[in-house]
Structure 1
């Protein structure tokens, strides 16, 4: 994996960790669901000082502590200290969304001649798998390495209107080069759409807004959308638009040109990736061991850098436009608009109804594969 400007020394900075023999995933109780089931919290550490906390409720990454250019750790994801706050409702902080991420127009689709009706939970559309999606499931979990946890969820036939029993496995690993690796695999017993993603809200400064973060996305095209955020089916060039992030650009530099209310980004980008890996009739699996460069984010004051690599054909940039200060997160931080940014690697929104988009249909005997890596470091000295 090419470094693309991260300082190897900086990536390895921070507080010295434990030896390999001492490293292990710590497990504790995070809280109880209303039905009495227990949610667990897993703490992963590497030898470079990075710390990740994830719960099996929704596979939510609740904390992600990353060193800055001086080795000081800060938690760079939005979320809550207690399970009860997640149970009370939140805008998909740090979770896995599915069975189909993003929007399905009209909350319906046709598959092999049969019409499937879904619950509409955003206007007339189905968003992120419906009102009781994978983000609200209590996944089974087991530790599979010194900094790796494997989560499993079985979504029954008819779950939120989707056909087929879907068996999903997510392996979450914290690597020694300060990367958080998400590996999704899924099987089904009936044809069904599948489009999974991690919905983390990142703020590399630790607090404040992300408007001064500098962003680059490896995309020459995007999918225009209707006012309800569903793609029109077109694919257009980013050139000359406020969606041109081919060169590092401050996120807040062109918000006034977007014409969005509330102002901010909520757009799908067509990644360069590996177009030869796209299959327009079946679910696109890419090459799961060869993620392509997706995006790079730099925070100028801390010097932190996040790179995203993925096997997916698209990424949704969302800048927390609907945060309004009503949610109080970790440490009492009140989450105002633009407090975090999401880079949701994905198939394109509403692809199940737009056959010219990369396909999202998984069939029996096939395996859905998706790998996304969020890698952290700092800018090179003097860069």
Structure 2
């Protein structure tokens, strides 16, 4: 067992849950559980030279397993799979065969976020987790093997590399649901400066399901091209829960989002090879006794979920989310924090 791999003492479905800590030359640290591939902390030096954790979570694994937390489950820091966000009516067809999923968010009632992943041998400072989803799990076809590698660079970049293969045609759309707050003591993110290099966003119906219609951001509350405060145009009761089509080539590693807290001076940049980014300002967040005993309320965090368009399995014009035998699903997303 690696020096940075610590047992939590928890066994779930016969598999041991570990916490793995990655560190870099600056003294920055990321803690990841192999349960749900959860990023539970990302500690960097702020402008005052103090350690500051920029992600929401719990001090230990028990918080992620508590009844109270699961009753109002926000996917704090988890991997999402097999399919991010929502699929219309939980139905899709692959190679002429129709499949009915549980009508649920983010991959079903027992998705990749609730699995204990295997820890593969790697060279520090990286961590590779692997999970094989059996055919029929959450009614998805095909045995799907996913590897997710985390690296922490000396530039305070948390790099996520995804790799997946299948033995039968299936639907795959993976992302990570890290909740960020760049303030020393938390609080509402409405004051943050936000830039999203996206000239278009995706129309959603009343159930937040992507319809296939691509709309220009110009003249709407969704225009973040030039940058503005998150709260400038939002409905303070709703915030943002919207998918943006990035102004870059799909598969090219490019900027998806830039967020700055004007008080702490911390900046989070997100880079991705994916075609879209879903911007969520945590309307439904309601977590008691997170790290350091702090409660988390709506709009006290934001997520940048890099992925293929939600429901694109049912929208032929969008980049495809079907994976065939012999093909490899690849995705890279980078979360970079600077002062």
Return the TM-score normalized by structure 1.
0.84
Q: How do residues 94-113 of structure 1 correspond to structure 2 at under 5 angstroms?
A: 94-113=77-96
CA contact (8 A) 2:12 2:116 kept: no
Pick closer, same or farther for the CA change 1:143–1:174 going to 2, 3 Å. Answer: farther
Report the alpha carbon displacement of residue 82 of structure 1 after superposing the two structures with TM.
2.3
Tell me which of 189, 192, 201 is aligned to 1:222.
201
User: Larger deviation: 333-342 or 30-39?
Assistant: 30-39
Whether the 8 Å CA contact 1:31–1:82 is kept in 2: the answer is: no
Within 5 Å, which residues of 2 pair with 1:1-383? 26-35=4-13, 37-88=15-66, 89=70, 90-121=73-104, 127-206=105-184, 207-256=186-235, 262-274=237-249, 277=250, 286=251, 290-324=252-286, 326-378=287-339
SS in 2 for 1:352: helix
Contact 1:58 1:137 in 2 (8 A): yes
Paired with 2:9 and 2:19, the residues of 1 have a C-alpha distance of 9
1-side partners of 2:82 and 2:285: how far apart?
24
Are the counterparts in 2 of residues 156 and 166 from structure 1 also a CA contact under 8 Å?
A: yes
Q: Quick check: 1:60–1:93 contact (8 Å CA) kept in 2?
A: yes
SS in 2 for 1:153: strand
Q: Distance in 2 between matches of 1:164 and 1:352?
A: 16
Q: What CA distance in whole angstroms lies between the structure 1 residues aligned with 2:268 and 2:227?
A: 13
SS at match of 2:213: coil
1:185-217 CA deviation, whole Å, 9 max, x = no partner?
A: 000000111110011000011411211111101
Contact 1:172 1:180 in 2 (8 A): yes
**Deviation per CA, 1:310-362, whole angstroms, max 9, x where unpaired?**
000000000110124x5321111111111110000000010011111111011
Given the superposition, is the C-alpha separation of residues 66 and 102 from structure 1 closer, same or farther in structure 2, using an over 3 Å criterion? Answer: same
State the Cα deviation string for residues 265-286 of structure 1 (Å, max 9, x = none).
1000000121xx4xxxxxxxx2
Structure 2 gap ranges (5+): none
Distance in 2, Cα, partners of 1:184 & 1:36: 25
Contact 1:193 1:362 in 2 (8 A): yes
Cα pair distance change 1:143/1:50, threshold 3 Å:
farther
Q: Any idea what the Cα deviations from partners look like across 1:9-65, whole Å, max 9, x if unmatched?
A: xxxxxxxxxxxxxxx861111241454532000011101121100000000001110
Deviations 1:82-105 (A, max 9, x none): 212212323111111000111101
How many aligned residue pairs are there? Answer: 332
Aligned Cα RMSD in Å? Answer: 1.4
Q: Is the 8 A contact 1:172 1:182 kept in 2?
A: yes
The structure-2 alpha-carbon separation of the partners of 1:149 and 1:143, relative to structure 1 and needing over 3 Å to count, comes to: farther
Whether contact under 8 Å (1:273, 1:311) holds in the other structure is no
TM-score (norm 2): 0.95
Cα distance between partner residues in 2 of 1:171 and 1:193: 21
